[in-house]
Structure 1
Amino acid sequence: MSSQQAPSQSASRNQRRRPWLLIALPSLPAMLIAVVLTFTATNDPWPAGMAAEETFFTSYSSSIKSLDPAVSYYVHEGEILDSIVEMPLSYHYLRRPYELCPMLAGALPVPRCIGHDGAILSGDPPPEQVARVEYDIELKRGIRYQPHPCFAKNSDGTPRYRQLSARDLKGIRRIGDFPAQDSRELHAEDFKVALVRLCDVRLASPVYSTLKSFILGMDECSAHIKNDLAVLEAEASRAGRDIGMYPVLPDYRRYDLAGLQVIDQYRFRLVLSRKYPQAVYWLAMHFFAPMPWEALAFYQQPAVIDARLDIKNWPVGTGAYMMAECAPADHITLVKNPNFRHEPYPNDGSDEQRRNGLLDDAGKTTPFIKRVVFQFEREAIPTWIKFLQGYYDNSGIPNDMFDAAVAMNPNGELSLSQDMIQRGIRLNTGVAPTIFYFGFNMLDPVVGGNSPNQKKLRQAISIALDYQEFIDIFLNGRGVVAQSLIPPGITGAPADGPSGVNPFVDTWNERHQAPQRRPIDDARKLLAEAGYPNGIGPDGAPLTLYLDHANAGQSAFKAQFQWLSRRFELLGIRIQERPSDLNRWRDKVNTGNWQIIFNKGWLADYPDPENFLFLFYSGNGVVSSGGRGANYVNYSSEAFDKVFKQLESMADGPERLALIQQAIRILQEDAPCCWGFHPKNFILTHAWLHNYQPHEMGKTFLKYRRVDATLRRQCQRAWNRPRLAGIYAVLALVAASASAMIVRIYREDQS
Structure 2
Amino acid sequence: MKKVMVAALAAGLLAVSPVQSSTEAKVLRYAFRSDITSFDPAKVSDSYSNTLITGMFDAPVRWAYLARPYKLEPSGCELPEISADFKTLTLKVRPGLYFHDDPAFKGAKRELVAADYVYSLKRHYDPQTKSPNLYILENAGLLGLSELRQKALKNKTAFDYDTPVEGLKVLDKYTWQIKLAKPDPRFINNLANPMAAALAREVAEFYGDRVGEHPVGTAAFMLKRDEWRRSSRIVLVKNPAYRDEFYNEEAPANRPHLQAAAAKFKGRKLPMIDRLEVAIIEEPQPRWLSFLNEEADYMQEVPLEFTSVAAPNGQLAPNLAKRNIHMNRYPNPDIGFTFFNMTDPVVGGYEPAQVALRRAIGLAYDVDREIRLARKGQMVPAQGLMPPGTWGYRADLKTEMSEHSVAKAKALLDLHGFKDRDGDGWRERPDGSPLSLVRATQPTADYRVLDELMEKAMRAVGIRIAFKQAKFPENVKASRSGKLQMWNLAWVATMPDAAYHLALGYGPNAGQANHSRFDLPEFNRLYELQAVLPNGPERQQAMDAANRLAVAYMPYKVSGHRIWTDLSHPWVIGAERNIFRRDFWQYVDVDMAAKNAAER
Pair 1:632-2:520 in alignment: no
8 Å Cα contact 1:345/1:361 also seen in 2: no
Q: Distance in 2 between matches of 1:316 and 1:398?
A: 32
Q: Deviations over 1:244-286 (max 9, x none)?
A: xxxxxx996x542432211122211112234444432331123
The residue number in structure 2 matching 1:733 is none
Q: Distance in 1 between matches of 2:152 and 2:518?
A: 36
The residue number in structure 1 matching 2:372 is 472
The residue number in structure 2 matching 1:389 is 293
8 Å Cα contact 1:328/1:376 also seen in 2: no
Q: Deviations over 1:380-430 (max 9, x none)?
A: 555544433334211257759717842523xxxx33322222111122334
8 Å Cα contact 2:385/2:558 also seen in 1: yes
What does residue range 504-583 of structure 1 map to in structure 2 within 5 Å? Answer: 504=400, 524=407, 526=408, 544=427, 546-551=436-441, 560-564=450-454, 566-567=456-457, 573-578=461-466
The residue number in structure 2 matching 1:482 is 382
What letter is aligned with 1:365? R
What letter is aligned with 2:274? R
Matched-pair identity in %: 21
8 Å Cα contact 2:114/2:170 also seen in 1: yes
Q: Deviations over 1:584-634 (max 9, x none)?
A: 99999988996xx463544445443223223334x4596xxxx68826274
Q: Deviations over 1:547-595 (max 9, x none)?
A: 33244998866654543454467xx62221255688999999988996x
Q: Distance in 2 between matches of 1:312 and 1:215?
A: 25
Aligned residues: 562
Pair 1:211-2:100 in alignment: no
The residue number in structure 2 matching 1:34 is none
Relative to the length of structure 2, the TM-score reads 0.76
8 Å Cα contact 1:55/1:372 also seen in 2: yes
Identify which of 98, 118, 130 aligns with 1:145. 98
Identify which of 607, 612, 616 aligns with 2:505. 616
The residue number in structure 1 matching 2:566 is 683
8 Å Cα contact 1:314/1:326 also seen in 2: no
8 Å Cα contact 1:52/1:710 also seen in 2: no
Instruction: Report the alpha carbon displacement of residue 466 of structure 1 after superposing the two structures with TM.
Output: 2.9
What does residue range 654-665 of structure 1 map to in structure 2 within 5 Å? Answer: 654-665=537-548
The 3 A distance-change label for structure 1 pair 421 and 655 is: same
8 Å Cα contact 2:516/2:556 also seen in 1: no
SS in 2 for 1:349: coil
The residue number in structure 2 matching 1:643 is 526
Identify which of 156, 177, 181 aligns with 1:273. 181
Instruction: Report the alpha carbon displacement of residue 686 of structure 1 after superposing the two structures with TM.
Output: 0.7
What letter is aligned with 1:285? N
Q: Distance in 1 between matches of 2:489 and 2:363?
A: 18
8 Å Cα contact 2:365/2:454 also seen in 1: yes
What does residue range 179-194 of structure 1 map to in structure 2 within 5 Å? Answer: 183=109, 185-194=111-120
Identify which of 63, 69, 77 aligns with 1:105. 77
Q: Distance in 2 between matches of 1:195 and 1:448?
A: 34
Identify which of 401, 406, 410 aligns with 2:310. 406
The 3 A distance-change label for structure 1 pair 378 and 667 is: closer
SS in 2 for 1:500: coil
8 Å Cα contact 1:134/1:272 also seen in 2: yes
What letter is aligned with 2:379? G
Relative to the length of structure 1, the TM-score reads 0.62
What letter is aligned with 2:217? G
Q: Distance in 2 between matches of 1:333 and 1:574?
A: 51
The 3 A distance-change label for structure 1 pair 379 and 426 is: same
Identify which of 234, 240, 243 aligns with 1:340. 243
Q: Distance in 1 between matches of 2:64 and 2:106?
A: 40
Q: Distance in 2 between matches of 1:546 and 1:103?
A: 50
What letter is aligned with 2:463? I
The residue number in structure 2 matching 1:89 is 61
Instruction: Report the alpha carbon displacement of residue 445 of structure 1 after superposing the two structures with TM.
Output: 9.9
What does residue range 350-499 of structure 1 map to in structure 2 within 5 Å? Answer: 350-352=253-255, 357=260, 359-361=262-264, 363-378=266-281, 380=283, 383-396=287-300, 402=306, 405-409=309-313, 414-438=314-338, 462=362, 464-495=364-395, 499=396
The residue number in structure 1 matching 2:581 is 698
Q: Distance in 2 between matches of 1:282 and 1:384?
A: 34
SS in 2 for 1:419: helix
The 3 A distance-change label for structure 1 pair 333 and 538 is: closer
8 Å Cα contact 1:144/1:183 also seen in 2: no
Instruction: Report the alpha carbon displacement of residue 192 of structure 1 after superposing the two structures with TM.
Output: 2.6
The residue number in structure 2 matching 1:134 is 88
8 Å Cα contact 1:325/1:334 also seen in 2: no
The residue number in structure 2 matching 1:501 is 398
Instruction: Report the alpha carbon displacement of residue 86 of structure 1 after superposing the two structures with TM.
Output: 0.8
Instruction: Report the alpha carbon displacement of residue 354 of structure 1 after superposing the two structures with TM.
Output: 6.1
Instruction: Report the alpha carbon displacement of residue 676 of structure 1 after superposing the two structures with TM.
Output: 0.9
Q: Distance in 2 between matches of 1:201 and 1:264?
A: 28
Q: Distance in 1 between matches of 2:50 and 2:480?
A: 29
SS in 2 for 1:608: coil
The residue number in structure 2 matching 1:256 is 164
What letter is aligned with 2:89? Y
Q: Deviations over 1:286-328 (max 9, x none)?
A: 332233456567x46xxxx9xx9x8544433332234455431
SS in 2 for 1:82: helix
8 Å Cα contact 1:425/1:684 also seen in 2: yes
Structure 1 segments unaligned to the other structure (5+ residues): 1-48, 114-123, 125-132, 152-158, 162-181, 232-249, 507-516, 718-751
Q: Distance in 2 between matches of 1:592 and 1:295?
A: 32
What letter is aligned with 1:614? A
CA RMSD across the alignment = 4.7
SS in 1 for 2:236: strand
Instruction: Report the alpha carbon displacement of residue 136 of structure 1 after superposing the two structures with TM.
Output: 1.0
What letter is aligned with 1:390? E
Instruction: Report the alpha carbon displacement of residue 82 of structure 1 after superposing the two structures with TM.
Output: 1.6
Which of the two has higher C-alpha Rg?
1
Instruction: Report the alpha carbon displacement of residue 191 of structure 1 after superposing the two structures with TM.
Output: 1.8
Pair 1:710-2:593 in alignment: yes
SS in 1 for 2:540: helix
Pair 1:58-2:30 in alignment: yes
What letter is aligned with 1:563? L
Identify which of 254, 265, 286 aligns with 2:194. 286
What does residue range 295-310 of structure 1 map to in structure 2 within 5 Å? Answer: 295=203, 299=206
The 3 A distance-change label for structure 1 pair 610 and 55 is: same
Instruction: Report the alpha carbon displacement of residue 470 of structure 1 after superposing the two structures with TM.
Output: 0.9
The 3 A distance-change label for structure 1 pair 449 and 216 is: closer
What does residue range 232-251 of structure 1 map to in structure 2 within 5 Å? Answer: none
The 3 A distance-change label for structure 1 pair 645 and 404 is: closer
Q: Which structure is richer in relative contact order (CA contacts within 8 A, separation 6 or more)?
A: 2
What letter is aligned with 1:265? K
What letter is aligned with 1:81? I
8 Å Cα contact 1:430/1:680 also seen in 2: yes
8 Å Cα contact 1:349/1:359 also seen in 2: no
8 Å Cα contact 1:446/1:454 also seen in 2: yes
Q: Distance in 1 between matches of 2:246 and 2:278?
A: 27
The 3 A distance-change label for structure 1 pair 466 and 347 is: same
The residue number in structure 1 matching 2:39 is 67
